[in-house]
Amino acid sequence: MATAPTPPRTPTARKSLPGSPSAISPNVTATESPISLQKRRWQGGAVALPLPGLTQPESMNRGAPVAPMAPMKRQKVEAEIKAEHQYLSMPVSPLQNPNGAQHDSISPFRPQQPPHPYIQPFQPHAPPIMAQQIFMTALHRNGSLFPIEPTKNPIGSRRVDAIAHTMWEVVFSKADMMDNVTTKAALFNPLKLRALAKLNWLPSWWFLREMALGVMEHSGWLVDDSERQGEWKEVVHFCKKAELKTYGDNGAVQNEGGGLPKPEEIRESVQKVDS
């Protein structure tokens, strides 16, 4: 049986054995690892410094740091606050209800426009609302039609005709309004319709012209319609003479009341026009 080798007893032989402390590098102590490790050093330049104006908490118990607001965002917020303040401070007029009580305010989305100084507000005996709306829409569509100080300077017949033309254009674009106007114009008496036919004027246009005159009169405007009224008087006289000559004593034409007019009534009406 082979025996285990006897370890050398000399110091030189012991140093040459593997695993001996003396076989390790003389610069490494017993407590150090034989593997060389690279020491990591903190480089402050690699870490971004805090932004200018960044506020740090005075103590750890007061919460996280608060970043400053960007200039553009701050201006936007200030503008919104200012707009909200102006919105809340908008003057509004009280709204009158039928019971006499007033609401504190009305919707600010419909700004209240002051009425025109030459247009009177609606009153119980005033022309219908539709007539005033059509009249004002026509004036706003064509600003040259609006007279200068109509309560002092009379309005001539031709300007009234121009206003009536614009009113007719406004109504023509609204089918329901035009239907209402033509329905009322169809109720004119036969003599009036004959006079309009002789003048080649539309009954709907004449109806709107009379409507405009009613709004002007209610608003206190001065109107000099002598030119058109004189022409109308002549045409009505012509139509009455034509009725008398055409129908004579037969009285075949119905009057305003729906009955047959008597010959003497036609003669009397013609005499009144002549006078």
Q: How far is CA 197 from the centre of its chain?
A: 43
Residue 55: exposure state from Cβ atoms within 10 A (0-12, 13-18, ≥19): exposed
Dihedral over Cα of 99, 100, 105, 111: its sign:
positive
Q: How far is CA 122 from the centre of its chain?
A: 24
The domain spans of the chain are: 129-142+149-248
Structure tokens at 181: 């106007």
Instruction: Show pLDDT as tens, one digit a residue, over the chain (275 residues).
Output: 555 555 555 555 555 555 555 554 555 454 455 555 555 555 555 555 555 554 555 555 555 555 555 556 566 656 665 555 544 444 433 334 444 444 433 333 334 444 444 444 434 345 578 888 899 999 998 888 888 888 888 999 999 999 999 999 999 988 998 999 999 999 999 999 999 999 999 999 999 999 999 999 888 899 999 999 999 999 999 999 888 888 765 544 444 444 444 555 555 655 554 54
**Cβ atoms 115, 136 nearer than 8 A:** no
Distance CA 21, CA 64 (A): 55
Distance CA 203, CA 182 (A): 7
Please report the pLDDT score of residue 42 as a whole number. Answer: 53
Please report the pLDDT score of residue 219 as a whole number. Answer: 87
| Residues β-bridged to residue 66 | 55
Residue 3: exposure state from Cβ atoms within 10 A (0-12, 13-18, ≥19): exposed
Distance CA 270, CA 147 (A): 37
Distance CA 106, CA 104 (A): 7
Closest CA to 161 of 224, 218, 114: 224
- This prediction's pTM: 0.47
Euclidean distance between the first and the last CA atom of the chain, given in angstroms as a whole number: 173
Dihedral over Cα of 16, 18, 24, 25: its sign:
positive
